[in-house]
Amino acid sequence: MLDAARTDEALLEVNNVEVIYNHVILVLKGVSLNVRKGGITALLGGNGAGKTTTLKAISNLLHSERGEVTKGSIVYKGERVQDLDPSALVKRGVIQVMEGRHCFQHLTVEENLMTGAYTRRDGRGAVDADLEMVYTYFPRLKERRRSQAGYTSGGEQQMTAVGRALMSRPEMILLDEPSMGLAPQLVEQIFEIVKSINENEGVSFLLAEQNTNVALRYAHQGYILENGRIVMEGTASELRENADVKEFYLGVSDEGRKSFRDVRSYRRRKRWLA
């Protein structure tokens, strides 16, 4: 949590990464992206586009799912990190919040948060101070601190998962699909908190989202992933104004608003992937 100022300096560089599952299934076909220091970068795309795989390739959680980075490089602060194990990466300040929250169900909310500090060696006092910091961002969690996480609501679990990541004192959080299964109001609330964590604590975010609309309102940069390839990139405002993005992801086109359902996916494949 260094200076909150956003810079153009790349904190994380993903260069032409290819990922294969089970030695045969090619999921990422050469993905390149940069995450700027102090910014929120959105990774957008539909189901199966490769968003989660990209995040797991970075955090090195692929191995436990028989996935492998077969080409390309992942560089964090000038260091190649793709051969490190997840815990070494957490110690360097990169932590992932997985899709579907993944709270420890039988642990209390507070115990969940404390597991986030597992890799820290800076003493009890600093950890307790950060626990209070997490509770100021998520007052709801303080009320629920003694409840078993499995019995809390989806929104509270998402807060717990983000708070848990925050407890590791990260410089960068890989946030996978925070809007999943949450009511629109709650989604908005979670994104507001992400924004304030970004601004106040200087934590950079790489955010995988299907909810293009919300994500582009809060992100600074964006990448669109389609079928294992980056098909478009730019600042969030550029992407918001882009005609294709409007048509394919926001459901708005020159002919007026229409349902995403009517935008045949082969059209965007044809236009982008040909």
Partner 1 sequence: MLRDIFITPFVDMVEAPDFLMQVLWEGLVSGVLYALIALGFVLIFRSSRILNFAQGIMVVFAALTLVGLHAMGLPAWIAVAATLAVMFVLAVTIERVVLRPLVGQPDIILFMATIGITLFLIGLGETIFGGENKVMITGELGIPTGDTVLEPFGGLLILQHLDITVVLVAVALVGALLAFLNYTRMGRAIRALGDDHQAALSVGISLQTIWVLVWFIAGIIALVTGIAWGARAGVSFALEVIAYKALPVLMLGGLESITGAIVGGLMIGVLEKIFEIYWGQPLLGGNTEAWFAFVLALIVLLFRPQGLFGERIIERV
Binding site for partner 1 (CB under 8 A): 59, 61, 64, 66, 85-87, 89-91, 95-98, 102-107, 111-112, 114-119, 148, 150-151, 164-165, 168
Nearest distance, CB of residue 16 and partner 1, angstroms? 25
Nearest distance, CB of residue 63 and partner 1, angstroms? 9
Beta carbon nearer to partner 1, 79 or 255: 79
Nearest distance, CB of residue 114 and partner 1, angstroms? 6
Beta carbon nearer to partner 1, 204 or 221: 204
Of 194, 161, 184, which is closest to residue 41 (Cα–Cα)?
194
Beta carbon nearer to partner 1, 127 or 263: 127
Query: Residue 175, SS3?
Result: strand
CB neighbours of residue 104 within 10 Å: 15
Nearest distance, CB of residue 9 and partner 1, angstroms? 25
Beta carbon nearer to partner 1, 109 or 232: 109
Nearest distance, CB of residue 221 and partner 1, angstroms? 24
Nearest distance, CB of residue 193 and partner 1, angstroms? 19
Backbone angles phi, psi at 85, to 5 degrees: -90, 165
Beta carbon nearer to partner 1, 43 or 58: 58
Token reading at 258? 């229409």
Beta carbon nearer to partner 1, 43 or 216: 43
